[in-house]
Chains A and B, each alone.
Chain A
Amino acid sequence: MKKTFHNLWFLKPENYFHKLSITLKIVTLLLVCGLTLPAFSLTPGIPAADDQQQIKVSGTITDASTSEAMIGVNVQIKGTTIGAISDASGKYSLMVTDPNATLVFSFIGYVNQEIPLGGKTTIDVALASEVTGLEEVVVVGYSTQKRATVTGSVVVAKGDDLKKSPAMNISNNLIGRMPGLTAVSRSGEPGYDNATLRIRGSNTLGDNSPLVVVDGVANRDMNRLNPNDIESITILKDASAAIYGSQAANGVILVTTKRGMLGKPKISLNLSAGGTQPTVIPEMADAAQYSEMLNEIAYYKTPSLGRNQKYSEADLQQYRDGSDPWGHPNTDWFDECFKPWSSQNQMTASISGGTDNMKYFLSLGTRYQDAVYKNSATNFRQYDFRTNIDGKLSKNIDIAFDVAGREELRNYPTRSVGDSFRMLMRGKPNMPAYWPNGDPGPDIEYGDNPVVTVTDATGYDQDKRYVLNSNLRLNINIPWVQGLLLTFNGSFDKNIAFRKLWQTPWYLYTWDGNPEYITTKGKRGFDAPQLTEYMADGQRVAVNALVTYERTFAARHTVKVLAGTERRNGFSDNFNAFRKNYISTAVDQLFAGASDQYMANNGSASQNAYMSYFGRVNYDLSRKYLIEFVWRYDGSYMFPEDKRFGFFPGISAGWRISEENFWKNSLGLFNNFKIRGSWGQTGNDRIDEYQYLTTYGFVDSRTYVYGGADAKLLYETKIPNPNVTWEIANQANIGFDASMFNNKISMSFDYFNNVRSQILIQRNASIPNSTGLTLPPENIGKVKNTGFEGIITYNNQAGDLNYSISANGSYSRNEVLFWDETPGIPEYQRATGKPMPTQNWDGTFNSQLYYQAIGIFDDQGEIDGTPHWAGAIPGDVIFEDVNKDDVIDGLDRVRGEKNNLPRFIYGFTFNLGYKGFDLAILFQGATGSVQYISPESGEIGNFYKEAADNRWTPENTGSAYARTWNRDEEYWRSQGNTYWLYNMDYLRLKNFELGYTLPSSVNKSLNIEALRFYINGMNLLTFSKQKLIDPELESGTAYPLQRVVTGGITLTF
């Protein structure tokens, strides 16, 4: 019985219970140890009894952290084969002959306990989950493994840790917690705050996004899962991901949701609410400063007209002293637009429990997030539910049926966030946001006065998405072949989106300086309302069948084989319709729009299909020598018929040196030491489909007009590449896992060397443009990415205080090995041998060529004596004459050494528990990235305060900052150069959570199981060299990241 159980543990639905328990219990583990261990040491010795006498020993086994009964715990008399298993209520009993025998209590994922009977006949035991996690079950592709025998490079985050953040988006909770994960948040906008996740940095010039697998189903969206539903997140970083074949090259993120566990229904409520505010609000020049700078713009153009061409000294004085709020306002646009705090809240209720035949986890949740604006039209709301059910159809057949769904509601104003933030940055401090009489002030252009366009005064943009995820799984145990199991999975996912964009005219007010202070109202944006509706309907179906065979031979040779086949297909349809010239704003439906020439509609569709054969073979000898082979044979619709399939193998091995006697004898301070290595080839199929076909397509939305009629435009969509295939990643990894001093210190370290070849890039650089070819990407690019990552954790206890400190860091540096270089360009412009440039918005990479800014011209003499751009004047940026030819031209541009993704990313976590209190802190930082921050300033908009305060002027010479500029008129504005390149290194207090759990004595009187109060926060402190924008953002016009503070309670009963 035991053996069978053991062999199949990883596929038994009940065993999800075990994993869950680990998670739930790990937090309180140290406390338990503190309580139980001293108690045993006080147990007095009892004299030996008669050998022949059979004594019945019984007791109850509970989980140390939850006090719940534990089923299936193995109880054995030490040194014998006599044993028992605990039942559904955690009770066990067995007969012993030796009253001084020792009982060994063992359970996967828990610390074994050995308890001498000492004459007692009732032994109740509280088992604590394993600190080192050696016995912990790790989710890997299509299966699970024990931590101790994992040979790949795998990192796991617990759902309970991820929960300790008020982030509304799971992806933001991963930053800084998982070595090997490079994650950056590029926007804090409610509903659009997905972090950019990169496993081991960037590996390809193409798409670097990892594969996300949620509950075994690939390409589901994890970002919007309810964090309370998440059991664990595993990242497969190396070739162990090869079981995902052509999707695995960028790493795989496996998300596992919680499942029901044996026991009475447990109801849990988690409520929290709090406030958010931007981490960094750009500091801009004030009205007086800005007006002076406008004067300087005019002055630099026509010095003969002096320094007050636009504003007189009297004007400047009024801007300074604020004496004339109508004529000389001083507006802080961010202040006018943002409120000090915005709200967010979440509620989750879950019920879980189960009997032998049926276990369930049900949850309902809602979350809401407001935006930073005053009178905000932007917010995000989500409703979600999950039903994970495990049942037993018969002795040998288990079934699991999961359904999860959510509604994501995004509300926005009709002007995009980019527009609004662009206008905030451009907002002129000497223009009013509101007139002193309360009317909204004029626009910058196009009706864009951000204090109005962030509200619902311009209509609304409502985006509703419905997501339904479902799986059905059958586990069929083949009783006549020991260790053979069949599993059948089917999943059906549906995504429906409906967006309604209702754009109405809005009104702004102008004042022409009349002494009565009468403002006049102007209609902006649209003459009449207009409506666009978008509908999209997509679905994905994935089915797979797995055969698993696991058996241990001769007590030493354990073999586990998994083989499976999978097919996936999906389609999506979209449709949209537009009408304008609504007579009234009263009804916002399509029928009410004018039936005129402007009515329009459009639609399209896409489809895909994949099929795969895959498997894994594990062999271990005495759990000491471990070897694993995984493979996948993947077929994809993207390729021509004879080139559809590709084979992706991965091999890994481990050696648990700490199990060797020589090690045990000499290096006893190490409880565990495992060396692992892996190599594999995986693919990246995130490439454009049908590249082998010559196709023609209609140009979107643009037409050519004959007479008054629009005519369609057909163009050669692509020139075919008949040889197109997957990108191939050669991934090598070597690392070790260790724990020391009775698991007080545990660590893990990995070094990797990835070479991505066959990257699809265009041969643009060497094929002349006179061919007119828009080249297809060809599998010619090659990139190397090497780095290391590690984590070290120390945990201990001192009296009632238990604590753990952990540090992790990940470094990756990539280098282009092959790139289609233009012949004849100088070495310092070549991409080969340099880190991958960041892909530009237009798909080109050449933005990374910069002139080298080496200072500011102070006077005409300096200009005359230095090679310079024609027309340079004092205060302009000096470009370095890199090739020393005394001319500043394109040959003086140098390819940058850094891109906008950090090279080193690190985190420190501190977890403390003291009596009922718990504290979790995450500091996180990153180094090695740069951003080109180039604001629209001058007559078009405001300047950063830093640039204004320090600017070069004829009076302030010797400054490191350039003179006042106007838009892109200056050569050092229009030509990419390092003056605008900022180091984005940062360190921040990413998460903080302080909780207090009521003592169990109080719980009993309240008739509840547990009650915990907590406050938590995100992005609370930020340290960054660059002060203009949040260091994770890419530009000043992105929605800022949020500092969040919430308080909440978790109630379990």
Chain B
Amino acid sequence: MKKTFMILMIISVIPLFNSCTKSSEFLDKKPLGEYSETDVWSDPALVETFVNMMYRNALGWPFSIERLSDYSDESFFTPDWDVLNFNKSLMTSDGLLGWQVDWATPHTLHFRWDPLYANARRTNIFFSKINDVPGDEAVIDNLKGQAYFMRAWTYFYLTALYGGVPIITKAYTLNDEFEVARNTYEECISFIVGQIDSAALFLPDAYPTDGHVTRGAALAFKARVLLYAASDLHNSGKNGDVTSGFSNPELLGYVGGDANARWTAAKNAAKAVIDLNKYSLYKATPAPADSVAQNFVELFTSKGTNEDILLQFFTPKTDENWDGYNPGLYCGPNGYHNWGNNTPLGDLVDEYEMKDGSKFDWANLTHKANPYLNREARFYATVLYEGVQWRKRPSDALQIDPFSKIQVGYVYNPGNVMIKAGLDTRSGPIEDWNGGKTGYYLRKYVDPAVDPQYVKQDVPFKHLRYGEVLLNYAEACIELGQDAEARTYINLIRKRAGQPDLPGSLTGDALRQAYRHERRIELAFEDHRFWDVRRWLVGEIAYKQTSAVDVRYNATETSVPSYRKADGSTYGAPVFAKKDTPGDSRAWNKKIYFFPIMRDEMNKNTLLVQNPGY
């Protein structure tokens, strides 16, 4: 009996293990969280999500904690993160300093060699596969159009940063030959323009939902590319100081050729967008009852207007890390429990004209007595300054400041002892170390309707808008000597801003300077200035000791209970003074016109030529 039992036991055990011998079946598992290559490239819906990723990486994180404005003479990045060292032009081929903060996700993180080429690879994979994807031809063409655009966008930023770069259109596999030389700047621009032309061919005029690239976006982008290419930085007739002694000037710009033809191409490209008659300036002619400043606020907090050509949307639902997307929190004053970053520099603020079109001037005592009186409308839509009404303070701050007016000043007693610091200063009672250092906070793009402590806003970033196209057109006209045409278009911008027309007498270099001023003001904090100061070869002007504003109240009391009196009035009139932003002494080195290729990359690809100065 026992024996039988035992035999049964053994027999029952053995089959269990016999079944294991079909190892192939037992070990055959599939990843449950991923799609196979075949899945993806046989389904246009999945391909579309792959194209979405190109947008994400090409267009980046423009509202990240660190903004491109911090790297030029627009704003100051309070937390530093090595940005000052970048702005001192200390960048080398071993380190891009504050440009490559890798523990956060700053916008600049993808304006670099590696991520841009990673994005180029995405487009290369796409083009190596798309012709075999089954599906509606219109859908496929549309996807191709978007991918051409993203490839152009990617190479555009590569050339803007490095000059000519290797044009790579193949999707490498592990066993390929990887060493490749740089193409010339001219070849790169031709390539980019070709890609844009292809994009324009495939892209539709509009989509059911905004945010996709359209034919209009392709044309507007082409205008920007050609404008940049025509600029002094890439013109061997103008960039001699940068390229002198460099063995390969063709990598940095056009060598010879017809500069006028390039400006004409830029002009025509901008004109092509204008001639679409699809876009127009938002509230181009302000109604008499309009607040022009309010028009501007609306333009930058709306979800899209007839002026917008390419928008990057965000939703409050979009689950980003702390460093991903929350401009209200990042830029807002510390007295709102915000982080006080990207604070406008005095240099920029002082550029805003008076309402009558005259220059603001600290030497003008009327101006100095109240710098914020009678400034042009765009100033009020862009900058938060001492005493301006802003959104309701959070509960704890509201009891300290029931008026919810920006406080960036200090109250002094007759003994010249500081007795009360504004809520939004670096000595205030709330998160003082997050206070800005310039006396200003950023208003542009910030939606005052949401409390960014708790909720993210859903304001889109404007990558391409009609206002820029008009300015691009005007710039090309100026460089072609077509001053009247240029003034006409600049005046469209000024008219919308409520500023008087440029006088007909303004021509030549004076007009160029007026244009550059206009562009700086109109496109402030829209990621243009960083590139403009480079392509105009004006780095020395933009990178220097920056300025801020000092605001003080001279109280007659020895101590005061609050920054403002109970009735909201101040302790005496504020005294304004221009001062240096503490520690923000920037410097320019001409090598910084182009970025270095990192030493490791140079070592890995011996065919590369390093940019001058590194």
Contacts and interface: CB of A to CB of B under 8 A. Distances in A.
Given A298-B582, A312-B417, A765-B600, A715 B53 contact: yes
Contacts of A444: 431, 433
Nearest to B95: A890
Given A704-B55, A710-B315, A974 B85 contact: yes
Contacts of A606: 31-33
Contact of A889 (B13, B94, B114, B601): B94
Given A609-B27, A772-B120, A708 B454 contact: no
A719 B165 CA distance: 24
Nearest to A608: B29
Interface string B88-131: 10101111010000100000000001100111111011000000
Nearest to A443: B431
A145 B349 CA distance: 83
Query: Top 8 A-B pairs ranked by shortest CB distance?
Result: A890-B94, A522-B396, A772-B121, A707-B209, A527-B454, A301-B583, A520-B399, A705-B313
A302 interface: yes
Interface size class of A (residues with CB under 8 A): 35 or more
A1008 interface: no
Given A397-B9, A520-B396, A771-B117, A696 B17 contact: no
B400 A510 contact: yes
A967 B78 CA distance: 11
Interface in A285-333: 298, 301-302, 310, 312
A245 B24 CA distance: 19
Given A526-B454, A702-B318, A969-B583, A697 B90 contact: no
Contacts of A222: none
A137 to B, nearest CB: 26
A770 B603 contact: no
Interface in B431-448: 431, 433-434
A49 interface: no
B40 A696 contact: yes
A890 B600 CA distance: 10
A301 B36 CA distance: 56
Contact of A714 (B33, B53, B93, B316): B53
A457 to B, nearest CB: 16
Contact of B604 (A396, A510, A823, A940): A823
Given A445-B434, A510-B430, A512-B400, A768 B601 contact: yes
A629 to B, nearest CB: 22
A609 B26 contact: yes
Interface stretch (A359-367, A633-641, A997-1005): A633-641
Contacts, number: 317
A604 B53 contact: no
A713 interface: yes
Interface in B1-52: 2, 5-6, 9-10, 13-14, 16-17, 20, 23-24, 26-29, 31-37, 39-40, 46, 49-50, 52
B211 to A, nearest CB: 4
A706 interface: yes
B218 to A, nearest CB: 17
A1024 to B, nearest CB: 28
A721 interface: yes
A513 B339 CA distance: 22
Interface stretch (A1-9, A118-126, A773-781, A919-927): A773-781
The residue in B14, B24, B173, B453 that gathers the most chain A C-beta atoms within 10 A of its C-beta is: B453
A889 B37 contact: no
B506 interface: no
A697 B26 contact: no
20 contacts: A301-B583, A428-B433, A511-B429, A515-B559, A520-B398, A523-B394, A567-B20, A641-B24, A705-B313, A709-B209, A768-B604, A769-B118, A770-B180, A773-B174, A822-B600, A871-B88, A890-B599, A891-B599, A969-B84, A969-B583
A803 B380 CA distance: 84
Contacts of B113: 769-770
A392 to B, nearest CB: 12
Q: Determine which residue in B168, B429, B599 has the highest number of CB atoms from chain A within 10 A of its CB, and name it.
A: B429
A254 B36 CA distance: 39
B397 A515 contact: no
B222 interface: no
Interface string A855-879: 0000000000000011100000000
Interface in A529-550: 543, 545
Interface of A: 298, 301-302, 310, 312, 394-397, 428, 442-445, 447, 474, 476, 486, 488, 508-515, 518, 520-524, 526-528, 543, 545, 565, 567, 569, 597-598, 600, 604-611, 635-637, 641, 644-645, 689-690, 693-699, 701-717, 719, 721, 765-776, 778, 822-825, 842, 869-871, 889-891, 893, 939-940, 966-969, 971, 974-975
A766 B53 contact: no
Given A565-B20, A697-B34, 13 more contacts: A442-B429, A445-B337, A512-B562, A528-B454, A569-B26, A635-B27, A693-B37, A715-B122, A768-B179, A770-B166, A770-B180, A778-B174, A823-B606
Contact of B394 (A522, A526, A707): A522
Given A706-B313, A770-B601, A488 B13 contact: yes
B13 A486 contact: yes
Contact of A704 (B27, B52, B398): B52
Contacts of B14: 545
Nearest to A970: B85
B429 A513 contact: yes
Contact of B40 (A636, A644, A707, A714): A714
B80 interface: yes
A283 B142 CA distance: 62
Given A474-B9, A719-B174, A611 B431 contact: no
A696 B79 contact: no
B122 A716 contact: yes
Given A394-B2, A968-B81, A611 B24 contact: no
Contacts of A598: 316-317
A488 B493 CA distance: 85
A545 B312 CA distance: 61
Interface in B130-181: 165-166, 168, 172-174, 176, 178-180
A520 to B, nearest CB: 4
A975 B209 contact: no
Given A702-B320, A705-B315, A890-B94, A772 B80 contact: no
A975 B95 contact: yes
Interface-centre pick from A611, A636, A697, A769 (highest chain B CB count, 10 A): A769
Contacts of B52: 704, 711-714
Contacts of A396: 2, 6
A871 B86 CA distance: 12
A506 to B, nearest CB: 12
Contacts of B29: 607-609, 637
B591 to A, nearest CB: 13
Interface string B283-323: 00000000000000000000100000000111111111000
A611 B27 contact: yes
Contacts of B6: 394, 396-397, 476
A769 B172 CA distance: 11
Contacts of B451: 527
A967 B40 contact: no
A637 B52 CA distance: 32
A870 B89 CA distance: 10
A474 B6 CA distance: 11
A610 B27 contact: yes
A647 B427 CA distance: 69
A839 to B, nearest CB: 15
B413 to A, nearest CB: 13
A615 B449 CA distance: 71
A301 B582 contact: yes
A403 B51 CA distance: 52
Contacts of B46: 696, 714
Contacts of A515: 559, 561
